[in-house]
Structures are given as structure tokens and as C-alpha cells.
Structure 1
């Protein structure tokens, strides 16, 4: 009965695989297409509103001037041709938005169907479950590779598994391109992205655009010429002064940078930090954080979420004891690796990785029958000890610890439950 219950699939746990930060591994799977659909709709709506206003204005002016005979028939025809050209351009734009919407709906349908497959399975013993879980693992691997700039490998895996609709390659590639441009010392592409998402960033109270403008100012001062200094002052008045109430201390530091150039001797650390090459990496990280927050993506790979949950489900206080082993000088490591049949958390490979995840919460205990206590304090079922002793070729009155390899006489064993 216990084995049957353990093999049952808990659908809620699969769809809401929560980490310590309450971020769900399958939530972004559905949320990202939804956020992109909203963004696509807002952009299309803005384009229609803007062009419609221009069309209406031009048509009104042309009609009024024609009635009052203030415009020649040739100019009327020319204005109408202009409006037709703009309308065709608007149609092309809307076709692009419609194609993007169709792609996103297709992606969303595929993801819903992928999650719906799980509801038709009721046990991990189902042959379909292995294929489903493999596909899910592939999704997590693609997500991990995209977040770590292994773009070619991520695309190759997505192509091999034919799962483009289940992964967000295009979104992460666009993000990676802007991130790379920042690391290469250019803020242009990031500023365009900020302009396209200005309202949303304002709602999130993001300071990304301000940091990018500050970096533009710093780069002008870095050139250290009179012309660039004048240009930097004009830049500060236009782009930094409006943020004076939001970021007063930073704006003051920007003003003080006029008197502190990178070539100065004994440059104070707080000003030297603005000229540091590390600023570009910080800007790249700030952009990635803003991008992920805007689209509702977790800041860490989804693979970490799943791995942490799996490790936590297996972890017990005994997995991080104080014993020191022959294979590792660090406390809390088992003598054996994952190649032996021991607890994965106690293995050399996973012990350190699982150190910071919470302990498992089990409402039921599953113990071996006829538990025996060894002199070293370890407990095993009698059947396991007998089987291991037979495999090791020991005498009938000897047993061997499954983990440490120590050999004891059967007379020294004690029953845990009398």
C-alpha cells in the first residue's frame, strides 16, 4: 500500500513546484507568452492610435482646404497618396503584430497541452510519464543554457527535441544580445529597450534607464576634453536632472565627477568606482534583472528550482553530520560516491550542493524490517546486512557496514525494536 501511494502523481506539486523564494517552475511556462501577448497588443494599439490621429488630422486639413479652395486638386491627390502610403505601412506593421500574436497563441496552446498531458497520468509507473518528465527536463536544460549564454547548445537541443513552442529561445536571445552589448561598452541597445518598455519600467520603479544615462555621462567625462565636458554638462541637464528627487545622492555624485577625472591621482574610491570597468558587468546584471522582472521570469534557472526541491525531499539531519571521511577532509561527506547504493545527499557529488536546502518533511516513515544497530551507531535492516555480507563473501557470523565498510560480528549487533 505504501509503495502504491508513493508512486501516485501529485498534480498540484508538479505544476506548483515551489522553491524557498515561492517561484514556481511551471509558472513562467504559461506566464511568459501571456506577458508577450500583452506587450504585443499594447504596441499594436499604440501604433494604430498614433497613425489614426495623423490620418484624421491630414484628412481634415485636406478637406477643409479643398472646400475653401486653398489647395489645388494636385495637392489634394498628393495628400491622398501620402495617406494611402501610410495606411499600407500601417497594414504591414499590423500584419507583423498579427503574425507575432499567432505565434504566441500557438506557443501557449502547446504549453497548455504539455501540462494537460500530466493530468491524464496517475502514477509514475505510467509509461507516458517517463517521456513527459524527460521533456520537462529538456525544457529546464534549455532554460539553464540560455541563461548562461550557451545559446548554440540550447538551440541545438530545442531542435533535436522539436520543442520550440515549449522554450523561450527568441526571448532569451534578444536579452542576450542586449546584455552582450552592455558588456562590450555600449548602452544604445539597452536604452532602446528601456524606451520601448518605459511605462512598464516606471510601474516597477526600475532605475535601469537612470543608470544607463549615468554611464553615458561617465563615458563623456572619461574622454577628458573641454568639448566632451561641455557635452557632459548638457547631457546631465537633459537626462540626469529630472531624476534629482528620486536619486539625489547619485545625482550629486554625478555633478562631483566633473571635478574628478579618471587620470587624477588619489581618486576617492566612490568616484573611482564610476570609472571602473566593472560598471559594465553591473549594468548587464541590472538589465537582466529588469528584463526578468518585467516578463515575470525568475532570476535563477528553473533547473535550480527543481534540483533544490528534489534534494530537499531526500535530505535529513543525518545527511550533514559531523563525521570526517577518508575521501574528503570536509565534515559531513560520505566516504562513497553516487556510484554506490547510498543516500544521494550523503554522496560526495551532492553533499555540498544540498547543504543550504531545507530538510524534508515526511508525514510517514518507511523503515526496513528487523532493524539492527551497529556499534558505530548506524542502523540497517537485517535483510540488507545479510545480502551485503553474502556479496562481500564474509563468514556467517560477520556483517559489513553498507557505507563505511567496517566489519562487525553479529554478536555485537543490537535490535532496535525488541
Structure 2
């Protein structure tokens, strides 16, 4: 029963990780609708008013035939422009609906699976891993590699390449010292950024002001003052400290060592602006700020991690693997830590007096590759212990086993009835030395 429960797929937990997969097309559909709705309302109202004025002028005799023809040409030009905009919006909508259908089908396939032992689950989980890898590469700017992997696996509709390509271009522009692309993006999403709220546009305007002040020319300083009056001073109630610092910048040159003005002139502000933009962009689309691969890896490490994974014995095992030389080497590169066995009632395979190979074979967290990575990961929350043996007994060496298994192993080893034997180390103890373990 315990094995069956452990292999059963928890569909709700899977969907927690795959929420952005479904959410992003929906958010982009909303954005596409807003982008098409505004020009439609504006152009259609303009055409209606012009048609009404032309008809009234023609009936009243105030408009000549040439004026009527000219107005009709203007209306045709506006309608053709509106048609092009609506056609582009319709094509984008079709692409997003295609993405949604593909992603729903992908998650529906998971809903038809019940256990991880199903052969179909392996292929499905492999495809999900490919999605997480593409997401990771896109977030770090490896757009070409991400696109190649998505095309090779045939899952372009399951990943968000176009969205992250736009993000990468604007981030790269900020890192190279240009705010124009980011300001244009802020203009397209002004209402949404105001609701979040986000200080991205304010920070970009401050950076424009700083770059004007950096030149030191009189004309640029006057331009900077006018820029501050228009774009920075209105935020005095919201960001009083920042506005005050911008005003104080008038009295300091770029080579000043006085804070906070030295930091304002620092080139590291461009990296900070890029980070602020990425955070605002992801929050606007309801995407997590961390790569999905990190979230999945953290949850996996947390599920496997135990307090014994970072005990002194475990660390000594990791050091043995990491710093011990090859068989041809006569001197180790670093002296390994002295093994010690903590007295812990936790049933963990680390507490042995053998080599490090047994530890790292049994527990992935104790391996050299994952031990340091899992150090700051939280322990998993377990509502109940499914694989805990009945009637646990604590041996003097700190290892814990079920009493039935100890008795069975002692009988097979030919020991007297009052003796037990450690299943891992082979140490023999008297039954009087055992202590009963209670788990709450």
C-alpha cells in the first residue's frame, strides 16, 4: 500500500508548477485585445465623424464635390490602416489560441495518467523537462539554443520564445546604456504598470536625468532641469528620497566620492535597471521571477533532504569524493575531514563506518554534485510518515531499525536471542543496549 501511494501521481502538485504554461497565453490574449481595441475605437469614431460631416456638407451644399471625394479618400485610408491592424491582431489571436490548445492537450495527457510507473509518464515528464530547460535558457538570454531545442523537440507551442525574445532585447539595451526601448515598453503597458504598482518608468526617467548631468555641459544641465520638472518632480509624494537625491545631483560631478551621489553616477545602475525591468515584465505577465527549473529542482531536493544529509559524517563523505586522488596518486589534494557518527534517531543510510561510495550511492543529496546545492533548501513538510518501520529501536551507534527486522537478521546470522546485529555495519550489540524510539 505504501509503495502504491508513493507512486501515485498528485495532479494538483504537478499543476502548481505548470500554471505559467497555461496562464501566459491568457495574459497575452488580454494584452492583444487591449492593443487592438484602442485603435479600433479611435479610428472608427474618426471615420464616423468624418462621414457625418461629409454627408451634412453635401446635403447643405457647403461641401464641393472635390471636398467630398477628398474626405472619402481619407476615410478609405483610415479604414485600410485599421484593417491591417485588426488583421495582425487576429493572426496573433489565432497563434495564442493554438498555443492554448497545445498546452491544454499536454496537461490533459497528464490527467489520464495515474502512477509514475506508467510508461507514458516517462515521455511526458521528459517533455516537461525539455520545457523547463527552454524556459531556463530563455531567461538567461540563450535564445538561439532555446529555439533550437524547442524546434528539435517539436514543442514551439508549449514554450514562450517570442515573449522572452522581447524581454532579452530590452534587457540587453538597458545593459548597454539605452532606455528608449524600455520607455517604449512602459508606454505600451502604462495602465498595467500603474496598477501593480511599479517604479520602473520613474527609475528610467531618473537615469535619463543622470546621463544628462554626467555630460557636464551647460545646455544639457538646463535640459536635465526641464526633464526633472516634467518627469521626476511629480513623483515627489511617492518617492521623496529619490527625488531629493536627484535634486542634490545638481551640485555634484560624476567623479564625486560622496554618497549617495557616487552610486547614482555608478555604471552598476544599468544592471539594476535591467533587473527591475525583468521583474516588472515577469510580474506583468504573472510569471514567476525564478526559472521554473529552479523551482522544480528545489522541490525535488527538499523532498529528499534530511537533517543527516549535512551532518559531519556526510560532509566527510563528500570531501572524500571531492578531494581524494586517483589510484595513481600517492598524496591527496586535501586532507579529508575526520569521520564522526552523530547520535541521531533518523533512519538514514549515512551512519556507517565504511567508504563514501555507499553513502553517495544511496542518497542523492549526499553526493558531491547536490550536497552544497541543497544546503540552503528547506526540509519538506510531511503530514505523515508512510515508509516508517514499526516498533523502531535505536542502536548505540545511532542507527535506527525496526525490531522485527533486527530479530530476523540476528536469527539469520546465528546470534543468541539477546543479541542483535547492525544491518549496515555488522556491529553486534546486546538487546539491553537498545532504546525504543517514539515518533510524534
TM-score bin, normalised by smaller chain: 0.7 to 0.9
Secondary structure of the residue that 1:236 maps to in structure 2? Answer: helix
Matched-pair contact (CA < 8 Å) for 1:44–1:94: yes
> Could you give the per-residue CA deviations for residues 46-90 of structure 1, whole angstroms, max 9, x where no partner exists?
110111122123223323333333332112101101110110111
Secondary structure of the residue that 2:312 maps to in structure 1? Answer: coil
Secondary structure of the residue that 1:26 maps to in structure 2? Answer: helix
Tell me, yes or no, if structure 1 residue 314 matches structure 2 residue 304.
yes
Tell me, yes or no, if structure 1 residue 272 matches structure 2 residue 262.
yes
From 17, 28, 34, give the equivalent of 1:36: 28
In 1, distance between residues paired with 2:167 and 2:385? Answer: 46
Secondary structure of the residue that 2:384 maps to in structure 1? Answer: coil
Q: Rate the CA distance shift 1:193–1:342 in 2: closer, same or farther, 3 A.
A: same
Compute the displacement of 1:123 (Å): 1.2
In 1, distance between residues paired with 2:109 and 2:303? Answer: 24
In 2, distance between residues paired with 1:70 and 1:320? Answer: 90
> Could you give the per-residue CA deviations for residues 305-351 of structure 1, whole angstroms, max 9, x where no partner exists?
1111111111222222233516426899x774799422112222212
Superposed, which structure 2 residues align to 1:215-226 within 5 Å? 215-226=207-218
Superposed, which structure 2 residues align to 1:334-353 within 5 Å? 336=356, 340-353=360-373
In 1, distance between residues paired with 2:46 and 2:259? Answer: 52
In 1, distance between residues paired with 2:318 and 2:211? Answer: 52
Matched-pair contact (CA < 8 Å) for 1:374–1:412: no
Q: Rate the CA distance shift 1:347–1:375 in 2: closer, same or farther, 3 A.
A: farther
Greater mean deviation of Cα atoms: 149-158 or 58-67 = 58-67
Counterpart of 1:363 in structure 2 is 384
Compute the displacement of 1:370 (Å): 11
Q: Rate the CA distance shift 1:347–1:400 in 2: closer, same or farther, 3 A.
A: farther
Matched-pair contact (CA < 8 Å) for 1:15–1:26: yes
Structure 2, unpaired ranges of 5+: 320-335, 343-349, 410-420
Matched-pair contact (CA < 8 Å) for 2:395–2:434: no
Greater mean deviation of Cα atoms: 312-321 or 198-207 = 312-321
Matched-pair contact (CA < 8 Å) for 2:174–2:271: yes
Greater mean deviation of Cα atoms: 65-74 or 228-237 = 65-74
Matched-pair contact (CA < 8 Å) for 2:359–2:366: no
Q: Rate the CA distance shift 1:354–1:87 in 2: closer, same or farther, 3 A.
A: same
From 261, 284, 288, give the equivalent of 2:278: 288
Compute the displacement of 1:2 (Å): 2.0
In 2, distance between residues paired with 1:71 and 1:339? Answer: 93
Tell me, yes or no, if structure 1 residue 77 matches structure 2 residue 41.
no
From 38, 45, 48, give the equivalent of 1:53: 45
Secondary structure of the residue that 1:122 maps to in structure 2? Answer: coil
Matched-pair contact (CA < 8 Å) for 1:337–1:348: no
TM-score scaled by length of structure 1: 0.86
Counterpart of 2:184 in structure 1 is 192
Tell me, yes or no, if structure 1 residue 378 matches structure 2 residue 399.
yes
Matched-pair contact (CA < 8 Å) for 1:336–1:347: no
Superposed, which structure 2 residues align to 1:126-205 within 5 Å? 126-205=118-197
Matched-pair contact (CA < 8 Å) for 2:301–2:377: yes
Structure 1, unpaired ranges of 5+: 17-24, 387-398
In 2, distance between residues paired with 1:160 and 1:372? Answer: 54
Superposed, which structure 2 residues align to 1:179-258 within 5 Å? 179-258=171-250
Q: Rate the CA distance shift 1:371–1:289 in 2: closer, same or farther, 3 A.
A: same
In 1, distance between residues paired with 2:222 and 2:356? Answer: 67
Compute the displacement of 1:200 (Å): 0.3
Q: Rate the CA distance shift 1:374–1:258 in 2: closer, same or farther, 3 A.
A: same
> Could you give the per-residue CA deviations for residues 273-311 of structure 1, whole angstroms, max 9, x where no partner exists?
111000100000000010011000001011111111111
Matched-pair contact (CA < 8 Å) for 2:302–2:374: yes
In 1, distance between residues paired with 2:368 and 2:356? Answer: 7
Counterpart of 2:5 in structure 1 is 5
Matched-pair contact (CA < 8 Å) for 2:396–2:434: no
Compute the displacement of 1:146 (Å): 0.9
Matched-pair contact (CA < 8 Å) for 1:371–1:415: no
Secondary structure of the residue that 2:232 maps to in structure 1? Answer: helix
> Could you give the per-residue CA deviations for residues 90-131 of structure 1, whole angstroms, max 9, x where no partner exists?
101100000000100110111111111111111111111111
Tell me, yes or no, if structure 1 residue 92 matches structure 2 residue 75.
no
Compute the displacement of 1:238 (Å): 1.6
Tell me, yes or no, if structure 1 residue 325 matches structure 2 residue 319.
no
Q: RMSD between aligned alpha carbons?
A: 3.0
Matched-pair contact (CA < 8 Å) for 1:145–1:154: yes
